[in-house]
Copies of this chain bind each other. A is one copy, B any other.
Amino acid sequence: MAGNEFRVGLLGCGTVGGAFAELLNERAEEIERFNGRRPVLAGVLTRSQGSFEEILEGSDLVVEVMGGLEPAREYLLRAMQAGKDVVTANKQLLSQHGEELYETARERDVRLRFEAAVGGVVPVVRTLEESLSATPIERIHGIVNGTTNYILTEMSGGASYAEALADAQQSGYAEADPSDDVSGRDAAAKMAILARLAFGTPVHLDEVRFEGIEHIQSDDLQYARELDLGLKLVGTAERRQGGLSVSVYPTFLYSGHPLAAISGSFNAVTVESETITEITLSGPGAGGRQTASAVLGDVVSVMTGGARPPAPPLALPLIEDVESAFYLHLDVADRPGVLATVTQVLGEQQVSIKSVVQRGMGEHARLVMVTHPVLESALRAAVERLAGFDFVRSDPRTIRVIEEEFM
């Protein structure tokens, strides 16, 4: 009975699109049972076939899983302008043209849903958009890239970066060209989207400070373990100094932190607020079927009359120079007075030391320190000065640390 159908137009039929078509078919009957309407594929647009205009015409809702900026952006805008609800998994598009899309959804009073764009099947978008919409959020920490978490998990077992990357590629957790993942850019796009949801402030991908994991050396992971620290690529969005700070950095976590236990290709997001203390959501990063499952969840939520378009933006200023604790690794000559000089230079920049591990290695020594929170600019200034001393034998290495204490 056609009047009882809910027609879904599908743009893109790669891994995710194919899995979505399959899943929709498998679950149509159950969805009809609790929803009253049966979702059906009204048309599929691939590179070689299908017409966007015909699909748009014949659909109640449009799903975009093509990826890339264009023509995905144009198609989503045109679908919304035609009054259709839309679902997308496109994090690059949302992190670069999100406001244009959100505004169009508001103007046309249609739904724009994108659970699959962040965190795979972990329902972090909906949790921020709905469950926590009345909660003043202080901070989000996220492991939002499964490839890098897989690589860092392997490295914590002793593998080098190159070995871990090769392993990830062989196991299907990293692409042949992994640069978007290992540079932190993929995670940065996701944090831009989450920051917009949590803090109402538009954040463009270009405004997210990020750093990847390519330069991480496996001995850093070994030293850090002695300090009870494990390394993750952590995205952070938080209120700071009256503004908003959004960043992605390799970061050390103490073993008690909820993200410390997230291993392999899993994703997780921790949301902190005075009202709720903190909640953590975790699950597998995006595989084709998991992502398709998140997309289908969005389709069903539109069918059941889910949430409205995003609120108009607020505008917290973006803060760049924020406080953080740091891990600092120095390779120094093993002679008297070195530690005294190092601590003096750090002290002059208000960098205070929380813990030190020093280890002699013949003629030189390794000095591994964790600082108390300090402005990044002050830490950078101190490190620059230290690098100028002749007793410092190689470039100092710094990695952020999330402190132990909880709210």
Chain A interface residues toward B at CB < 8 A: 23, 27, 30-31, 33-35, 115, 121-123, 126-127, 130-136, 200, 258, 261, 275-284, 289-290, 293-294, 296-297, 299-301, 304-308, 311-312
Closest to A267 in B: B279
B279 touches A281 (CB 8 A): yes
A277 touches B290 (CB 8 A): yes
Task: Name the contact of A133 in the complex, choosing from B23, B277, B300, B312 (C-beta under 8 A).
Answer: B300
**In the complex, chain B residues whose CB is within 8 Å of the CB of A293:** 134-135, 275-276
Closest to A298 in B: B131
Bound Cα distance from A261 to B280, whole angstroms: 12
This chain's copy number in the assembly? 2
Q: How far apart are A288's CB and chain B's nearest CB, in angstroms? A: 11
B283 touches A280 (CB 8 A): yes
Q: How far apart are A185's CB and chain B's nearest CB, in angstroms? A: 25
Extra A-B contacts (12), CB below 8 Å, given A131-B297, A275-B293, A306-B307: A34-B312, A121-B275, A123-B131, A126-B127, A126-B131, A130-B297, A130-B300, A134-B299, A280-B283, A282-B282, A305-B306, A305-B308
Bound Cα distance from A280 to B297, whole angstroms: 17
Task: Name the contact of A135 in the complex, choosing from B130, B258, B297, B308 (C-beta under 8 A).
Answer: B297
**In the complex, chain B residues whose CB is within 8 Å of the CB of A278:** 283-284
Contact A123 B279, CB 8 Å, known A301-B130, A304-B307, A307-B306: yes
Bound Cα distance from A277 to B33, whole angstroms: 24
A134 touches B279 (CB 8 A): no
Q: How far apart are A236's CB and chain B's nearest CB, in angstroms? A: 19
A306 touches B130 (CB 8 A): yes
A282 touches B258 (CB 8 A): yes
**In the complex, chain B residues whose CB is within 8 Å of the CB of A304:** 130, 133, 307-308
**In the complex, chain B residues whose CB is within 8 Å of the CB of A311:** 33-35
B277 touches A280 (CB 8 A): no
**In the complex, chain B residues whose CB is within 8 Å of the CB of A258:** 261, 282
**In the complex, chain B residues whose CB is within 8 Å of the CB of A296:** 134-135
Task: Name the contact of A279 in the complex, choosing from B30, B276, B282, B308 (C-beta under 8 A).
Answer: B282
Bound Cα distance from A296 to B131, whole angstroms: 9
A127 touches B136 (CB 8 A): no
